[in-house]
Amino acid sequence: KNNFNNQPMAFSDPSIFEYDKQSKSFLAERGLIYFMMERYKALNYIREKLENVIFQNPLNELIKNKIFESSSVENPLKWNELLANFTDSEYQKVIVEIWEDFDSLDISSDRILKDYLKQVKISFYTIQRDELKIDLDMAMKTSEKEIAKSLMEAYLDIQKKLKKLEAEVYASG
């Protein structure tokens, strides 16, 4: 939750999801869904790395959450079971697209998995940082010193996370 206006910090306006379907974060989200389904032994690792991270695309986010709820290393979810979890044809279409689009993905590659995780986290933290900046500016204009201090700490924390992730991306690229 965002402290200043008490609104969720995660993408409540559906119009922002009309972004390029070839964007890195969109493809990384879908690639991670594919990894969760095909390399189920990495599910707990992915779940841990995505703790408190929300996918930008709401369809991808709901599919991710359904996999986390319904799948485990001991009892992995199959594609047909995932499809059966969604009655809405839009979700089913997305699931089939992911299955088809990533069918040739090398799921044994730890580097691809880690790159997808980094990309999704960079996108998530960038949006959080930008929303915090808006709230911080508003708090400073209204002289809300305690709120501004809290927002500044959160902003700097996210900025630090982003710099670390970006350094990892550039170091491995």
Q: What is the pLDDT of residues 110-148, one digit of tens each?
A: 999 999 999 999 999 999 999 999 998 888 888 888 898
Query: How many CB atoms neighbour CB 152 within 10 A?
Result: 15
For the entire predicted model, the pTM comes to: 0.81
Q: What is the pLDDT of residues 69-86, one digit of tens each?
A: 999 989 999 999 999 999
Rounded CA separation 19/28 (Å) = 14
